[in-house]
Amino acid sequence: MDGRAGDGMIDRLGLGAASIGNLYREVAEHDAEAVLTAAWDEGVRYYDTAPHYGLGLSERRLGRFLRAKPRDAFRVSTKVGRLLVPNPGARGGTDEANGFVVPDDLTRVYDPSESGVRRSLDTSLERLGLDRVDTLFLHDPDVYDLDEGLRLGLPALAALREEGVVSQIGIGVNSAAAAARAVREGDLDVVMIAGRYTLLEQPALDELLPLCQERGVRVVAVAVFNSGLLASADPARAHYNYGEVPAELLARTERLRQVCSRFGVALPAAAIQYPLRHRAVDTVVVGTARASALRENIRHLQTPVPDDLWAALRDEGLLP
């Protein structure tokens, strides 16, 4: 590890657009535009989205915002592996079972095949109103069928990169083991790992991060607050892996908070900076639908964190 994280470099921060896809709650159009405007005004130039996020709502909202911006001034990533198709069982309900408060007129169909990947990218570009995305991720193949996802999806992504359709390819998962397998079996440029290399837990240290460092694969750390647990003023009301927070993690979070407070550092500041201390981690991506929270996250990124804090967390057995 090195000490780069506290330098306030805004180009190491990306905005995750799941929240503006109505993750957990309905977000008004003006609020979605406000958080995107705040990010742009603060200098954020990397935006991550996916068809999964709000059944396309996230991509549409992000696309409307970016259409007025110079294309070479920003980077966008989206994801493939889930096709959106008309929902034959739609009865005027919502997609809240999958975490998004949007009409359930569409449904997700797993399709990591080459034709499915190309079709997914084409429809994403339509929703975004862009002629290209910079990075394309295979999204959550371990949720469905990891063997099939890697066997079909990785070559499909590589073909798009070879054709110059996308610049970089990668995998986006919650499982460090699945990500490590994809790095071993594919020719990836980047890995997006959610929640597995955070101040709260570090399973990505076992194999994934050393492997990425060895092979020159960039790592984008997302869900660095573990679905809000490390950033919430009331952790008992936060989420963990999109569900309730186990009691032992609540207790660990409180111990982390107490150590940080001894050094006058807010827990979210330590949480957003910790992943960037590893040489393999290039970027952190945070998601919010509130402009005020986005600005606060930037302040946390720029907060000086003394080396003694990291040492204290190790001494307490809270960090490896």
Amino acid in position 163? E
**Which tokens is 224 given?**
């660095």
- Per-residue CA distances from 127 to 59, 103, 172, 271, 317 (Å): 6, 17, 20, 33, 46
Average pLDDT over residues 77-102: 96
Tokens of 25: 């709650």
Q: Provide the residue range defining the domain that includes 48.
A: 12-315
Output DSSP code: residue 197: S
DSSP-assigned beta bridge partners for residue 257: none
Mean pLDDT (whole number) for 70-99: 96
- Residue 127 tokens read as 């929703």
Instruction: Decide: helix, strand or coil at residue 48.
Output: strand
What CATH number does the domain containing 65 carry? 3.20.20.100
Would residue 3 count as lying in a domain? Answer: no
The residues, any chain, with a CB within 8 Å of residue 140's CB and separated by 6 or more, are 52, 81, 82, 172, 173, 174
What confidence score (pLDDT) does residue 238 get? Answer: 72
* CA contacts within 13 A on the Cβ side of 171: 33
* pLDDT single digits (tens) 265-310: 999 999 999 999 999 999 999 999 999 999 999 999 999 999 999 9
Percent of the chain with pLDDT over 70: 95
Q: What is the mean pLDDT of residues 173-185?
A: 98
Instruction: Please provide residue 170's backbone torsions phi and psi, each rounded to the nearest 5 degrees.
Output: -165, -170
Q: Is residue 48 part of a domain?
A: yes
- On whether residue 284 sits in a domain, the answer given is yes
| Alpha carbon distance 174, 297 (integer Å) | 22
Q: State the average pLDDT over residues 79-102.
A: 96
pTM of the predicted protein model: 0.93
Which residues share a beta bridge with 209? none
Other C-beta atoms closer than 10 Å to the C-beta of 241 total: 15
Does 7 map to a domain? no
The count of structural domains within the chain is 1
Could you tell me the two tokens for 231? 């950033």
Q: Considering the chain, what is the average pLDDT of its residues?
A: 94
- Residue 291 included in any domain: yes
Phi, psi dihedrals of residue 80, rounded to the nearest 5°: -130, 165
CA distance 223 to 205: 16
Q: What is the pLDDT of residue 236?
A: 66
Contacts of 162 (CB under 8 A, 6+ apart): none
pLDDT of 117: 98
Kindly tell me the burial class for residue 236, based on how many C-beta atoms sit within 10 Å of its own C-beta (0-12, 13-18, 19 or more): exposed
In terms of pLDDT, which residue wins out, 232 or 236? 232
Helix (H) and strand (E) counts in the chain: 12, 10
Return d(Cα 280, Cα 299) in angstroms, integer. Answer: 23
Instruction: Indicate which residues carry an active-site annotation.
Output: 53
Asked, for residue 5, whether it belongs to a domain, the answer is no
User: Per the domain annotation, does 2 fall within a domain?
Assistant: no
In the chain, the N- to C-terminal Cα span, in Å, equals 12
